[in-house]
Amino acid sequence: MKVLIPSSLLSYTKAPEVDASGATLAGLLADLDRRYPGLRFRVIDEQDRMRGQMRFFVNGEQVFDINHPLQPTDAVYLVQALSGG
């Protein structure tokens, strides 16, 4: 499936869109980490929770559970939330 990568993670993938596979979002992130070591730690914390600054979208809908099931035809978007003041 296609995964869109935010600019903050391009140092890992070198491309704004990559292919990956997984039956769940967690599986997809594991596959991405095998291909691009260190990427998963940037989006998932030590307690296996989504980092606060990251947002995950599957087919345009925000997902809050890393165990969310995926289909091979899904489009997954990793988005880094902006903060500041």
Pairing of strands 2-4, 75-80: parallel
The model carries a pTM of 0.90
Residue 71 lies inside a defined structural domain of this protein: yes
Point out which residues pair with 77 in neighbouring strands.
4, 57
CATH assignment of the domain containing 15 = 3.10.20.30
Q: What distance in Å separates the CA atoms of residue 76 and residue 85, rounded to the nearest whole number?
A: 29
**Higher pLDDT pick, 29 / 85:** 29
- Report the distance separating Cα 78 and Cα 85, nearest Å: 23
In a domain, 85, yes or no: no
Query: In this prediction, what percent of the chain has a pLDDT beyond 70?
Result: 96
Domain residues for the domain of 21 are: 2-80
Mean pLDDT of the chain: 93
Confidence of residue 81 (pLDDT cuts 50, 70, 90): confident
